[in-house]
Amino acid sequence: MEQVSGEVGAFQVAVRKKARYVNENLCTGCGACAEKCPTMVVDVFNAGLGNRKAIYKYFPQGIPSVFTIDAAACRQLGQGKKCGVCAKVCQAKAVDYDQKDTLIQLEVGAVVIATGYEVFDPSVIPEYGYDRIPNVVTALEFERLLSASGPTAGHLDRPSELALVKEMEEAEKEHKKLQRQVSQLEEKHGKPSSEIVAAFQSGTLPDDADLRNWALLAQDLASLEARLDSMNRRKATASVARKLAFIQCVGSRDFRFNPFCSSYCCMHSVKEAMIAHEHDNGVHSSIFCMDLRAVGRGFEEYKLRGGKQANIRYIRGRVAEITQDEALNPVVWYESTQNRQVVHETFDLVILATACVPSPGAAELARQFQVELDRNGFFKTDPLAPLNTSRPGVFVCGCAQGPMDIPESVAQASSAAARAAEIVAPARQAVG
């Protein structure tokens, strides 16, 4: 969105259509380009838990089914290097490195703002250790771990083990390289490396750069092998996450951050615990909450069903701190209000039910449209006209207006559509 002028019935809006560097009329969505692209990028869609290529589709079922180049990451477009691999392999000739952003001028009678929300960043709560403890994840990250199309194909592998696998892959690559170099030297000199290392360590190695280099390489190889051994032992004892803790109201109902209740997180924790249990009957979940808010059609029954059928334990109490033991298991410290005691308990994985906060572009959009935001930063509406912003002809629905679940977002969207239609319908009749 670049510029907005006009008024209800006739807004002029300038929109910047960002270059995809792929012609959307030609791209067939086959993915041959991404298969061959040499550049790996951290995948935002998978909440940073996986990787994707520089030429990518945001997610496999994404619409439109067209690839896009991430210009900043791409060797050719962003890094000033030579590449062009994707253009070469694309049979549809859709890749276009010269594509430019275009400005589109629209004239519209009404506007519906549906820019949604962002998840609260829990790293600002140091006592929960989100950026220090690998096995503390957000609920959105956990959704990706549960998903069959996610980075673990739906297995509850712990992030600490995912990191270990990645570290091992890199170490194995390095190991191959070192091994090759060392065996070449052994062949060249017709001696085993152990002799050279022994001489080097006892200080009797002749002063020769080539021999010295060989000794250093052989030492590196030995220490890398020791590291690989210990990583292999850790991997052998690793198991999937079975004992889960869900921490509610992370950044919500907390006057340091957001005073409001994010409304959907109690229910998504129950849901995630139920799905985890469906995947693996050995899963036990504890949900730590001040109170579990199940306000909605069928929600209370859903919560009770979870408790009975999915091994969910509801614990009343606010979690004070999360620490970590030597086996990288998170430890949850909390006050049990039932027993009036401060207790701690060890889990395999902790899931933070983070707050629903305004989308980062909301303030800029509000400025462009000259509409007001409420004190929490969501689009302000009138309690008796909940879809009207402060400006006639501009409506808002879904989480752009405040935290709400999908059924409520959909209901609001239909109402906002009806309100917008009321404005443009007379115009249509005048034309027709």
Partner 1 sequence: MSNDVLVIGGGIAGIQAALDLAEMGIQVHMVERLPSIGGKMAQLDKTFPTNDCAI
For binding to ligand FAD (CB under 6 A), which residues are involved? 114-117, 119, 139-140, 143, 264, 268, 271, 359, 361, 365, 398-400, 404-407, 409
Residue 108 φ then ψ, to 5°: -135, 155
What the block records as the tokens of 152 is: 């673990």
**405 to 424: interface string for partner 1, x by CB under 8 A:** xx--xx-xxx-xxx-xx--x
Is there binding between residue 68 and partner 1 (CB under 8 A)? yes
Binding segment (CB under 6 A) for ligand SF4, from list 83-91, 136-144, 383-391, 417-425:
83-91
Selected from 119, 221, 241, 249, the binder of ligand SF4 by CB under 6 A is 249
Question: Checking phi first, is residue 78 left (phi over 0); if not, alpha (psi -120 to 50) or beta?
Answer: alpha
> 140 or 199, CB closer to ligand FAD?
140
Tell me which of 135, 138, 248, 324 binds ligand SF4, using CB under 6 A.
Answer: 248
Binding of residue 312 to ligand SF4 (CB under 6 A)? no
Examine residue 164 and tell whether it contacts partner 1 (CB under 8 A). no
* Residue of 33, 133, 146, 319 interacting with partner 1 (CB under 8 A): 146
311 binds ligand SF4 (CB under 6 A): no
Instruction: Provide the minimum distance between the beta carbon of 58 and partner 1 in the complex, in angstroms, as a whole number.
Output: 4
Candidate list 22, 39, 129, 369; residue touching ligand SF4; CB under 6 A: 39
Binding test (CB under 6 A) with ligand SF4, winner from 266, 357, 396, 420: 266
For partner 1, the binding residues in 326-365 under the rule CB under 8 A are 359, 361, 365
Given the rule CB under 8 A, which of 51-59, 210-218, 245-253, 312-320 is the region that contacts partner 1?
51-59
Map residues 162-201 to x or -, x wherever contact with ligand SF4 holds by CB under 6 A: ----------------------------------------
215-226 burial, b if ≥16 CB within 10 A, otherwise e? bebbeebeebee
Q: What residues between 46 and 75 interact with ligand SF4 by CB under 6 A? A: 54-55, 69, 74-75
427 binds, among ligand SF4, partner 1, ligand FAD, none (CB under 5 to 8 A by kind): partner 1
| Backbone torsion region of residue 379, taken as left when φ is above 0, otherwise alpha when ψ lies between -120 and 50, otherwise beta | beta
Both structure tokens of 349:
């994985």
Report 317-376 residues binding ligand SF4 (CB under 6 A).
353
DSSP per-residue codes, 386-429: TTB-SSTTEEE-GGGTS---HHHHHHHHHHHHHHHHHHHHHHHH
What Å distances lie between residue 366 and 8, 20, 389, 397, 401, CA to CA? Answer: 16, 27, 10, 14, 12
Tokens at 347, concatenated: 């889990």
How many residues sit close enough to partner 1 to count as binding (CB under 8 A)? 75
Instruction: Give the long-range contacts of residues 184-188, CB within 8 A, separation 24 or more.
Output: 185/210, 185/214, 185/217
Residue 312 near residue 285, CB atoms below 8 Å: yes
DSSP 245-261: EEEEEESSS-TTS--S-
Q: Measuring CA to CA, which residue among 19, 108, 140 is closest to residue 71?
A: 19
Residue type, 341: Q
Minimum CB–partner distance for residue 385 and partner 1 (Å): 16
CA distance 173 to 105: 52
Q: Which is nearer to partner 1, 7 or 35 (by Cβ)? A: 7
Q: Verify binding: residue 71, partner 1, rule CB under 8 A.
A: no
Strands 330-336 and 341-346: antiparallel
Toward partner 1, which CB reaches closer, 12 or 123? 12
Which range of residues in 77-85, 121-129, 186-194, 317-325 is near ligand SF4 by CB under 6 A? 77-85
Q: Among 27, 37, 241, 352, which residue interacts with ligand SF4 (rule: CB under 6 A)?
A: 37
Q: Torsion-angle region of residue 190: left (phi > 0), alpha (psi -120 to 50) or beta?
A: left
For residue 80, count other CB atoms closer than 10 A to its CB: 7
Binding site for ligand SF4 (CB under 6 A): 37, 39, 54-55, 69, 74-76, 83-86, 248-249, 252-253, 261-263, 265-266, 293, 353
